[in-house]
Protein backbone atom coordinates (compact mmCIF):
# COMPACT_ATOMS: atom_id res chain seq x y z
CA UNK A 1 0.00 0.00 0.00
CA UNK A 2 1.19 3.51 -0.83
CA UNK A 3 2.00 5.88 2.02
CA UNK A 4 1.28 9.49 1.11
CA UNK A 5 1.63 12.22 3.71
CA UNK A 6 -0.44 15.35 3.03
CA UNK A 7 -0.64 16.74 6.56
CA UNK A 8 2.44 18.97 6.70
CA UNK A 9 0.51 21.69 8.55
CA UNK A 10 0.20 19.25 11.48
CA UNK A 11 3.89 18.39 11.59
CA UNK A 12 6.88 17.89 9.30
CA UNK A 13 9.57 15.19 9.17
CA UNK A 14 12.83 16.27 10.78
CA UNK A 15 15.43 17.12 8.15
CA UNK A 16 18.40 14.73 8.20
CA UNK A 17 20.78 17.69 8.47
CA UNK A 18 18.90 18.79 11.58
CA UNK A 19 19.17 15.32 13.11
CA UNK A 20 22.93 15.29 12.45
CA UNK A 21 23.31 18.64 14.17
CA UNK A 22 21.33 17.49 17.20
CA UNK A 23 22.90 14.07 17.81
CA UNK A 24 26.08 15.14 19.67
CA UNK A 25 23.99 17.03 22.23
CA UNK A 26 22.28 13.89 23.49
CA UNK A 27 25.36 12.02 24.73
CA UNK A 28 28.63 13.77 23.85
CA UNK A 29 27.90 17.43 24.59
CA UNK A 30 25.40 16.59 27.31
CA UNK A 31 26.17 19.31 29.86
CA UNK A 32 23.65 21.64 31.45
CA UNK A 33 24.12 25.09 29.83
CA UNK A 34 23.61 26.74 33.22
CA UNK A 35 26.72 25.00 34.59
CA UNK A 36 29.91 27.05 34.67
CA UNK A 37 32.29 24.14 33.97
CA UNK A 38 33.46 23.12 30.50
CA UNK A 39 30.68 20.56 29.98
CA UNK A 40 28.07 23.23 30.58
CA UNK A 41 29.82 25.81 28.46
CA UNK A 42 30.11 23.36 25.57
CA UNK A 43 26.34 22.91 25.66
CA UNK A 44 25.84 26.67 25.96
CA UNK A 45 27.81 27.16 22.76
CA UNK A 46 25.14 25.13 20.95
CA UNK A 47 22.38 27.24 22.53
CA UNK A 48 24.13 30.48 21.63
CA UNK A 49 24.65 29.38 18.03
CA UNK A 50 20.98 28.47 17.66
CA UNK A 51 19.90 31.78 19.19
CA UNK A 52 22.03 33.62 16.64
CA UNK A 53 20.59 31.52 13.79
CA UNK A 54 17.03 32.38 14.82
CA UNK A 55 17.92 36.04 15.33
CA UNK A 56 19.46 36.25 11.86
CA UNK A 57 16.31 34.77 10.31
CA UNK A 58 13.99 37.15 12.18
CA UNK A 59 16.31 40.17 11.78
CA UNK A 60 16.49 40.83 15.49
CA UNK A 61 19.01 40.75 18.32
CA UNK A 62 19.94 37.38 19.84
CA UNK A 63 18.85 38.72 23.23
CA UNK A 64 15.31 39.09 21.84
CA UNK A 65 15.02 35.34 21.15
CA UNK A 66 13.41 33.27 23.91
CA UNK A 67 13.37 29.47 23.62
CA UNK A 68 10.20 27.73 24.78
CA UNK A 69 8.66 24.26 24.52
CA UNK A 70 6.68 25.28 21.44
CA UNK A 71 4.35 27.91 20.01
CA UNK A 72 1.59 27.04 22.50
CA UNK A 73 3.85 28.09 25.36
CA UNK A 74 5.08 31.11 23.39
CA UNK A 75 1.51 32.30 22.81
CA UNK A 76 0.53 31.71 26.44
CA UNK A 77 3.61 33.58 27.64
CA UNK A 78 2.85 36.53 25.38
CA UNK A 79 -0.75 36.98 26.47
CA UNK A 80 -0.50 36.09 30.15
CA UNK A 81 3.00 37.53 30.62
CA UNK A 82 2.02 40.89 29.15
CA UNK A 83 -1.18 41.10 31.19
CA UNK A 84 0.83 40.21 34.29
CA UNK A 85 3.31 43.00 33.56
CA UNK A 86 0.95 45.78 32.51
CA UNK A 87 -0.08 48.51 34.90
CA UNK A 88 -3.13 49.42 32.84
CA UNK A 89 -6.41 49.09 34.72
CA UNK A 90 -8.73 46.54 33.11
CA UNK A 91 -6.40 45.92 30.13
CA UNK A 92 -7.95 45.18 26.74
CA UNK A 93 -6.82 42.54 24.22
CA UNK A 94 -7.82 42.32 20.57
CA UNK A 95 -7.53 39.05 18.66
CA UNK A 96 -9.29 37.39 15.74
CA UNK A 97 -12.04 34.79 15.68
CA UNK A 98 -9.85 32.33 13.74
CA UNK A 99 -6.80 32.08 15.99
CA UNK A 100 -5.28 28.81 17.15
CA UNK A 101 -6.96 27.47 20.28
CA UNK A 102 -3.92 28.28 22.44
CA UNK A 103 -4.45 31.99 21.70
CA UNK A 104 -8.24 31.88 21.96
CA UNK A 105 -8.19 29.85 25.18
CA UNK A 106 -5.51 32.06 26.74
CA UNK A 107 -7.57 35.16 25.95
CA UNK A 108 -10.73 33.54 27.27
CA UNK A 109 -8.89 32.52 30.46
CA UNK A 110 -7.63 36.02 31.30
CA UNK A 111 -11.09 37.35 30.55
CA UNK A 112 -12.80 34.73 32.73
CA UNK A 113 -10.35 35.47 35.55
CA UNK A 114 -11.20 39.18 35.17
CA UNK A 115 -7.58 40.00 34.35
CA UNK A 116 -8.48 41.57 30.99
CA UNK A 117 -11.31 42.18 28.56
CA UNK A 118 -11.09 40.71 25.06
CA UNK A 119 -12.51 41.65 21.66
CA UNK A 120 -12.65 39.09 18.85
CA UNK A 121 -12.41 40.73 15.43
CA UNK A 122 -14.35 39.05 12.63
CA UNK A 123 -13.02 37.92 9.26
CA UNK A 124 -14.72 38.16 5.86
CA UNK A 125 -16.02 35.14 3.93
CA UNK A 126 -12.53 34.52 2.54
CA UNK A 127 -11.07 34.44 6.05
CA UNK A 128 -9.25 37.78 5.90
CA UNK A 129 -9.15 40.51 8.56
CA UNK A 130 -9.61 44.15 7.58
CA UNK A 131 -6.88 46.22 9.31
CA UNK A 132 -9.44 49.01 9.71
CA UNK A 133 -11.47 46.68 11.94
CA UNK A 134 -8.44 46.37 14.21
CA UNK A 135 -8.04 50.15 14.26
CA UNK A 136 -11.70 50.70 15.09
CA UNK A 137 -11.60 48.16 17.93
CA UNK A 138 -8.64 49.73 19.76
CA UNK A 139 -9.60 51.54 22.97
CA UNK A 140 -7.72 53.62 25.53
CA UNK A 141 -7.07 50.52 27.64
CA UNK A 142 -5.94 48.29 24.72
CA UNK A 143 -2.53 46.79 25.43
CA UNK A 144 -2.26 43.90 22.94
CA UNK A 145 -3.32 42.92 19.44
CA UNK A 146 -2.71 39.25 18.53
CA UNK A 147 -3.32 38.12 14.94
CA UNK A 148 -1.94 34.94 13.38
CA UNK A 149 0.15 35.31 10.20
CA UNK A 150 -1.02 32.19 8.34
CA UNK A 151 -4.01 30.15 9.48
CA UNK A 152 -3.36 26.53 10.42
CA UNK A 153 -6.65 25.21 9.03
CA UNK A 154 -7.37 27.09 5.81
CA UNK A 155 -3.94 28.63 5.23
CA UNK A 156 -5.26 32.17 4.82
CA UNK A 157 -2.56 34.85 5.07
CA UNK A 158 -3.39 37.89 7.19
CA UNK A 159 -2.10 41.40 6.34
CA UNK A 160 0.29 41.50 9.29
CA UNK A 161 2.56 44.26 7.94
CA UNK A 162 -0.49 46.45 7.23
CA UNK A 163 -1.86 45.85 10.72
CA UNK A 164 1.60 46.63 12.09
CA UNK A 165 1.56 50.01 10.32
CA UNK A 166 -1.87 50.80 11.73
CA UNK A 167 -0.70 50.00 15.27
CA UNK A 168 2.50 52.02 14.79
CA UNK A 169 0.48 55.09 13.77
CA UNK A 170 -1.85 54.65 16.73
CA UNK A 171 1.10 54.32 19.12
CA UNK A 172 2.60 57.56 17.78
CA UNK A 173 -0.67 59.33 18.54
CA UNK A 174 -0.92 57.71 21.99
CA UNK A 175 2.55 58.96 22.95
CA UNK A 176 1.27 62.54 22.78
CA UNK A 177 -1.87 61.54 24.68
CA UNK A 178 0.20 59.70 27.33
CA UNK A 179 -1.76 56.50 26.73
CA UNK A 180 -0.23 53.01 27.13
CA UNK A 181 1.48 51.39 24.15
CA UNK A 182 -0.42 48.82 22.10
CA UNK A 183 1.81 45.77 21.61
CA UNK A 184 1.47 43.57 18.52
CA UNK A 185 1.86 39.77 18.49
CA UNK A 186 1.67 37.32 15.62
CA UNK A 187 1.54 33.54 15.72
CA UNK A 188 3.77 32.80 12.71
CA UNK A 189 3.92 29.02 13.12
CA UNK A 190 2.50 28.19 9.69
CA UNK A 191 4.08 31.18 7.95
CA UNK A 192 7.77 30.67 8.70
CA UNK A 193 8.37 28.20 5.88
CA UNK A 194 6.82 30.48 3.27
CA UNK A 195 6.57 34.17 4.20
CA UNK A 196 8.78 37.10 5.17
CA UNK A 197 9.28 36.95 8.93
CA UNK A 198 11.45 40.04 9.29
CA UNK A 199 10.10 41.43 12.55
CA UNK A 200 11.06 44.98 11.59
CA UNK A 201 9.10 44.98 8.34
CA UNK A 202 6.16 43.22 10.03
CA UNK A 203 6.10 45.75 12.85
CA UNK A 204 5.56 43.17 15.60
CA UNK A 205 6.65 43.17 19.23
CA UNK A 206 6.13 39.42 19.66
CA UNK A 207 6.37 36.54 17.19
CA UNK A 208 5.84 32.84 17.93
CA UNK A 209 7.17 29.89 15.98
CA UNK A 210 7.53 26.15 16.44
CA UNK A 211 10.29 23.71 15.45
CA UNK A 212 8.22 20.82 14.20
CA UNK A 213 6.52 22.91 11.51
CA UNK A 214 9.83 23.73 9.81
CA UNK A 215 11.44 20.27 9.62
CA UNK A 216 12.83 20.61 13.12
CA UNK A 217 12.10 18.60 16.29
CA UNK A 218 8.91 18.64 18.35
CA UNK A 219 8.90 20.14 21.82
CA UNK A 220 10.83 23.30 20.98
CA UNK A 221 9.66 26.77 20.01
CA UNK A 222 10.63 30.41 19.98
CA UNK A 223 9.12 33.64 21.18
CA UNK A 224 10.60 36.84 19.78
CA UNK A 225 10.22 39.62 22.36
CA UNK A 226 11.19 43.09 21.19
CA UNK A 227 13.68 44.80 23.46
CA UNK A 228 11.96 47.04 26.02
CA UNK A 229 8.66 45.17 25.90
CA UNK A 230 6.92 44.78 29.24
CA UNK A 231 6.42 41.10 29.98
CA UNK A 232 6.81 38.85 33.02
CA UNK A 233 7.45 35.14 33.37
CA UNK A 234 4.39 32.98 34.03
CA UNK A 235 6.29 30.09 35.60
CA UNK A 236 8.70 30.12 38.50
CA UNK A 237 12.09 28.47 38.71
CA UNK A 238 15.55 29.38 37.50
CA UNK A 239 16.75 32.45 35.62
CA UNK A 240 17.00 30.85 32.19
CA UNK A 241 16.00 32.75 29.03
CA UNK A 242 16.54 36.20 30.50
CA UNK A 243 14.26 35.36 33.45
CA UNK A 244 11.32 34.77 31.10
CA UNK A 245 11.28 30.99 30.82
CA UNK A 246 12.45 28.98 33.82
CA UNK A 247 13.64 25.41 33.32
CA UNK A 248 16.70 23.52 32.08
CA UNK A 249 17.35 24.16 28.42
CA UNK A 250 16.28 21.51 25.91
CA UNK A 251 19.69 21.71 24.26
CA UNK A 252 19.19 19.13 21.46
CA UNK A 253 15.86 20.73 20.61
CA UNK A 254 17.32 24.23 20.63
CA UNK A 255 20.20 23.16 18.41
CA UNK A 256 17.65 21.48 16.15
CA UNK A 257 15.41 24.51 15.73
CA UNK A 258 18.46 26.65 15.05
CA UNK A 259 19.61 24.37 12.26
CA UNK A 260 16.07 23.99 10.89
CA UNK A 261 15.51 27.73 10.66
CA UNK A 262 18.88 28.17 8.96
CA UNK A 263 17.62 25.84 6.20
CA UNK A 264 14.25 27.55 5.64
CA UNK A 265 15.41 29.95 2.94
CA UNK A 266 17.09 27.11 1.02
CA UNK A 267 13.91 25.04 1.22
CA UNK A 268 11.88 27.96 -0.13
CA UNK A 269 13.45 27.32 -3.53
CA UNK A 270 10.95 24.49 -3.82
CA UNK A 271 8.03 26.72 -2.86
CA UNK A 272 7.03 27.51 -6.46
CA UNK A 273 6.91 23.79 -7.22
CA UNK A 274 4.77 23.17 -4.13
CA UNK A 275 2.40 25.99 -5.06
CA UNK A 276 2.02 24.68 -8.62
CA UNK A 277 1.17 21.22 -7.27
CA UNK A 278 -1.29 22.75 -4.81
CA UNK A 279 -2.96 24.82 -7.53
CA UNK A 280 -3.11 21.77 -9.79
CA UNK A 281 -4.86 19.86 -7.02
CA UNK A 282 -7.35 22.68 -6.40
CA UNK A 283 -8.23 22.94 -10.10
CA UNK A 284 -8.62 19.17 -10.49
CA UNK A 285 -10.85 18.85 -7.42
CA UNK A 286 -13.13 21.73 -8.38
CA UNK A 287 -13.41 20.52 -11.99
CA UNK A 288 -13.91 16.81 -11.35
CA UNK A 289 -15.81 16.61 -8.06
CA UNK A 290 -19.32 18.12 -8.19
CA UNK A 291 -20.53 20.15 -5.18
CA UNK A 292 -16.99 20.76 -3.95
CA UNK A 293 -15.67 24.12 -2.78
CA UNK A 294 -12.38 25.66 -1.71
CA UNK A 295 -12.60 27.20 1.76
CA UNK A 296 -11.09 30.65 1.90
CA UNK A 297 -9.17 32.86 -0.50
CA UNK A 298 -7.08 31.17 -3.17
CA UNK A 299 -4.94 34.27 -3.67
CA UNK A 300 -4.08 35.05 -0.04
CA UNK A 301 -3.29 31.48 0.97
CA UNK A 302 -0.13 29.69 2.10
CA UNK A 303 1.28 27.86 -0.95
CA UNK A 304 0.97 24.38 0.54
CA UNK A 305 -2.62 24.50 1.84
CA UNK A 306 -5.85 23.36 0.16
CA UNK A 307 -8.93 23.10 2.36
CA UNK A 308 -12.07 21.75 0.66
CA UNK A 309 -15.66 21.03 1.59
CA UNK A 310 -17.50 18.21 -0.17
CA UNK A 311 -21.26 18.52 0.13
CA UNK A 312 -22.97 15.34 1.33
CA UNK A 313 -19.75 13.89 2.76
CA UNK A 314 -18.81 13.56 6.44
CA UNK A 315 -15.23 14.77 6.82
CA UNK A 316 -14.15 12.20 9.41
CA UNK A 317 -15.48 9.33 7.28
CA UNK A 318 -13.58 10.59 4.25
CA UNK A 319 -10.42 11.01 6.32
CA UNK A 320 -10.60 7.39 7.50
CA UNK A 321 -11.29 6.06 4.01
CA UNK A 322 -8.30 7.96 2.64
CA UNK A 323 -6.15 6.67 5.50
CA UNK A 324 -7.10 3.11 4.57
CA UNK A 325 -5.63 3.85 1.15
CA UNK A 326 -2.41 5.18 2.69
CA UNK A 327 -3.24 8.89 2.35
CA UNK A 328 -2.82 11.02 5.48
CA UNK A 329 -4.87 14.23 5.63
CA UNK A 330 -6.73 16.21 8.29
CA UNK A 331 -10.23 17.52 8.93
CA UNK A 332 -8.73 20.74 10.30
CA UNK A 333 -6.30 21.53 13.06
CA UNK A 334 -4.49 18.50 14.47
CA UNK A 335 -4.90 20.06 17.92
CA UNK A 336 -8.69 19.83 17.72
CA UNK A 337 -9.08 16.61 15.74
CA UNK A 338 -10.90 14.91 18.64
CA UNK A 339 -13.59 17.59 18.76
CA UNK A 340 -17.04 16.95 17.30
CA UNK A 341 -17.72 20.68 17.01
CA UNK A 342 -17.50 22.26 13.54
CA UNK A 343 -14.29 24.16 12.86
CA UNK A 344 -14.36 27.55 14.60
CA UNK A 345 -12.35 28.91 11.66
CA UNK A 346 -14.88 27.83 9.04
CA UNK A 347 -17.75 28.96 11.27
CA UNK A 348 -16.14 32.41 11.60
CA UNK A 349 -16.02 32.58 7.80
CA UNK A 350 -19.78 32.07 7.66
CA UNK A 351 -19.67 28.45 6.47
CA UNK A 352 -22.70 26.45 7.72
CA UNK A 353 -22.03 23.59 10.18
CA UNK A 354 -23.05 20.86 7.71
CA UNK A 355 -20.53 22.17 5.16
CA UNK A 356 -17.85 22.71 7.82
CA UNK A 357 -18.24 19.07 8.90
CA UNK A 358 -17.64 18.10 5.27
CA UNK A 359 -14.22 19.76 5.14
CA UNK A 360 -10.81 18.18 4.57
CA UNK A 361 -7.40 19.87 4.77
CA UNK A 362 -4.62 18.82 2.41
CA UNK A 363 -1.20 20.33 3.13
CA UNK A 364 1.74 19.57 0.86
CA UNK A 365 5.45 19.54 1.64
CA UNK A 366 8.78 19.73 -0.12
CA UNK A 367 8.75 15.93 -0.58
CA UNK A 368 5.28 15.84 -2.23
CA UNK A 369 5.25 14.65 -5.87
CA UNK A 370 2.78 14.97 -8.73
CA UNK A 371 2.36 11.19 -8.78
CA UNK A 372 1.22 11.36 -5.15
CA UNK A 373 -1.27 14.12 -5.94
CA UNK A 374 -2.61 12.21 -8.97
CA UNK A 375 -3.08 9.08 -6.88
CA UNK A 376 -4.79 11.12 -4.15
CA UNK A 377 -7.14 12.72 -6.67
CA UNK A 378 -8.07 9.31 -8.10
CA UNK A 379 -8.85 7.87 -4.66
CA UNK A 380 -10.63 11.05 -3.57
CA UNK A 381 -13.08 10.88 -6.48
CA UNK A 382 -13.83 7.21 -5.75
CA UNK A 383 -14.34 7.66 -2.00
CA UNK A 384 -16.51 10.76 -2.29
CA UNK A 385 -18.72 8.99 -4.83
CA UNK A 386 -19.04 6.04 -2.46
CA UNK A 387 -19.86 8.21 0.58
CA UNK A 388 -22.46 10.15 -1.34
CA UNK A 389 -24.11 6.93 -2.46
CA UNK A 390 -24.29 5.84 1.19
CA UNK A 391 -25.79 9.16 2.26
CA UNK A 392 -28.30 9.04 -0.59
CA UNK A 393 -27.04 12.21 -2.24
Burial string for 36-56 (b: 16+ CB within 10 Å, else e) reads eeeeeebbbebbebbbebbbe
Length of the chain: 393
> Which of 294, 288, 318, 306 has the alpha carbon at shortest distance from 384?
318
Q: Which residues sit opposite 187 in a β-bridge? A: 208
CB atoms inside a 10 Å sphere around CB 34: 13
Q: Measured between alpha carbons, how far is residue 14 from residues 218, 259, 273, 326, 384 in Å? A: 9, 11, 20, 21, 33
Please indicate whether residue 102 is annotated as part of the active site.
no
**Cβ 348 vs Cβ 97: under 8 Å:** yes
Q: Could you give the CA distance from residue 22 to residue 314 in angstroms, rounded to a whole number? A: 42
**E-strand spans in 32-116?**
65-68, 92-96
Q: At how many degrees (to 10) do helices 315-324 and 370-391 cross?
A: 130
Closest to 146 in 3D by CA, of 89, 191, 207:
207
Pairing of the two strands 206-210 and 183-187: parallel
Distance from C-alpha of 286 to C-alpha of 21, rounded to nearest angstrom: 43
Q: Of 102, 107, 197, 335, which residue is the catalytic one?
A: 335
| Residue 157 bridge partners (DSSP) | 150
Task: Give the residue numbers annotated as catalytic, written as ranges.
Answer: 335
Amino acid sequence: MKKIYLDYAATTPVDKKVVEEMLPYFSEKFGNPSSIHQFGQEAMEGVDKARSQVAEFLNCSASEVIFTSGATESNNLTIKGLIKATQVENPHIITSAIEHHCVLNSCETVQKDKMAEVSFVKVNKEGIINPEDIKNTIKENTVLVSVMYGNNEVGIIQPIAEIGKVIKEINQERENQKLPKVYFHTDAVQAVNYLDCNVESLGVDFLSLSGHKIHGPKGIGVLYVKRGTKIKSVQQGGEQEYNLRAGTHNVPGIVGIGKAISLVLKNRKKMDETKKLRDYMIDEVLQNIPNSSLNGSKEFRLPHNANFSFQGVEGESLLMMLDQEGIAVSTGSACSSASLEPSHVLSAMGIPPEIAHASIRFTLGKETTKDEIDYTLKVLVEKIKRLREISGM
